[in-house]
Structure 1
Amino acid sequence: MTSIILLGVSCAIGGYLIGVFIGVKRAIKAEERADRYLLAILDLDRWCGHPSPAARIIAKHLMVVGEGDPLNAGTPCGEEPCTVMGLREQLTRLQRLQPRALPRAVGVIKNDPVLHGWHMQPLVPWETIGANALLYNSPPAEKANGLDAAARDVLAERRRQQDVEGWTLEHDDEHVSGEISALAAFYAMPPAARDWDASSTGYGETLGEAMLPPDWRAKPGDRREELKKAGALILAEIERLDRIAAHQEGEDA
């Protein structure tokens, strides 16, 4: 009986130690992966001899958001010095390959390196607070608001077309002859051009009438409202083409 108890205790301890070992091994692997991403992003070991705190924060951020495993920003070019400009280039390359990996950070990095001894170095040391600003700061509000409002209005119009007008995905998929693009073009074209003579086309007396698909009716409004509708319709047509491409890829697979 005592032997059985001792055997059970030994198995329990062994299982616990194995679990600890596996956990430590996983932690080491995660840390190694973070270091690889860290060096791919900044490669600051060529500059100061060891990875900087800022680089480690960026690497760990990538691990948290789940972009670490496939991440490969490419090895920095040999002629790229460890300077602010070199960092800007590496971040730009990273954002181009992995758009979701980092917030847009180019505007946060200082642009002017200073000569320090025989090499260039950033104006401000890369400390933790600087890395946090790099990762999370947003563009100036006055620059972002105009774009955000325009994009928000186009998306809202697209949603209205679906919910109110009945322009569902199924509806859009039935129109394969450019009707959606034609209506978008009607809204986007200069209003005066809609009255150009187009009787020779046989589709209508004016260019605007000739452009509209049969039985389709535009609802003119002020210029911004029309451009918003055009943007939403163009978005709808792009989505339709993407669905066709995805379907064809599925059939070819």
Structure 2
Amino acid sequence: MTTLTKQRMETITVMAIAKVQTERARQIDEEGYSREHDDEHRNEELAAAAAFFLVPDFMNQDVCTCTTEYGLVVQSLHELIGENAWLGIQRDDTSDLGIRDDVRLDTRIHQVTKGLALGIAELERLLRMRETVGTY
């Protein structure tokens, strides 16, 4: 692995922040997920959606949850988090061994970028709540 200079590492940090800012702007401008829309997600669905994209594939283990009727449901961690975010949320699968490494890495970068932008949307929502309520 190539050692990066301090200047290059700082440049990469700026690039990472810019990617997240661009994705957040895309969510608002292209998807229509305005701040007012985000404020409707009072049950922290944005945080769940962020986690959905940020949890790595190797952690996508099956989990068992209890239903209100004392039944058990087995589902993947991604399914559990995703259904608590919103219906129809999807992410690209990077676990397929047939995927080229560069494509896998680019896909993962996109997932992390999306997750961080959703995390920022949740943070903004909480900060707006604090401003209007006074405390959280």
TM-score scaled to structure 2, two decimals?
0.71
Moved more, 152-161 or 205-214: 205-214
8 Å CA contact 1:172, 1:236 repeated in 2: yes
Superposed CA offset, 1:81-128 (max 9, x none): xxxxxxxxxxxxxxxxxxxxxxxxxxxxxxxxxxxxxxxxxxxxxxxx
Match of 1:156 among 19, 22, 27: 22
| Greater relative contact order structure (CA < 8 Å, 6+ sep) | 2
Aligned to 2:132: 247
- From the superposition, tell whether residues 174 and 197 of structure 1 become closer, same or farther in structure 2 (CA, over 3 Å): same
Q: Give the 5 Å matches for 1:97-136.
A: none
Aligned to 2:41: 175
Superposed CA offset, 1:210-234 (max 9, x none): 1112414123361111110111011
**Structure 2 CA distance, aligned partners of 1:204 and 1:242?**
35
Displacement after TM superposition at 1:141 (Å): 4.3
Does residue 207 (structure 1) correspond to residue 72 (structure 2)? The answer is no
Does residue 220 (structure 1) correspond to residue 92 (structure 2)? The answer is yes
**Structure 1 unaligned blocks of 5 or more:** 1-139
SS at match of 2:116: helix
Displacement after TM superposition at 1:204 (Å): 6.3
8 Å CA contact 1:183, 1:218 repeated in 2: no
Query: Where is the strand percentage greater, Structure 1 or Structure 2?
Result: 2
Q: CA RMSD in A?
A: 2.2
**Structure 2 CA distance, aligned partners of 1:170 and 1:216?**
21
SS at match of 1:182: helix
Larger gyration radius, structure 1 or structure 2: 1
Total equivalences in the alignment: 110
Displacement after TM superposition at 1:143 (Å): 3.9
8 Å CA contact 1:201, 1:210 repeated in 2: no
**Structure 1 CA distance, aligned partners of 2:22 and 2:66?**
35
- Identity level (%): 31
Match of 1:198 among 58, 63, 85: 63
TM-score scaled to structure 1, two decimals?
0.40
Aligned to 2:103: none
**Structure 2 unaligned blocks of 5 or more:** 1-5, 68-72, 94-106
Displacement after TM superposition at 1:144 (Å): 2.6
**Structure 2 CA distance, aligned partners of 1:171 and 1:218?**
20
For 2:87, the aligned partner's letter is D
**Structure 1 CA distance, aligned partners of 2:66 and 2:30?**
33
Displacement after TM superposition at 1:145 (Å): 1.0
**Structure 1 stretches (4+) deviating beyond 4 angstroms?**
201-204
For 1:208, the aligned partner's letter is H
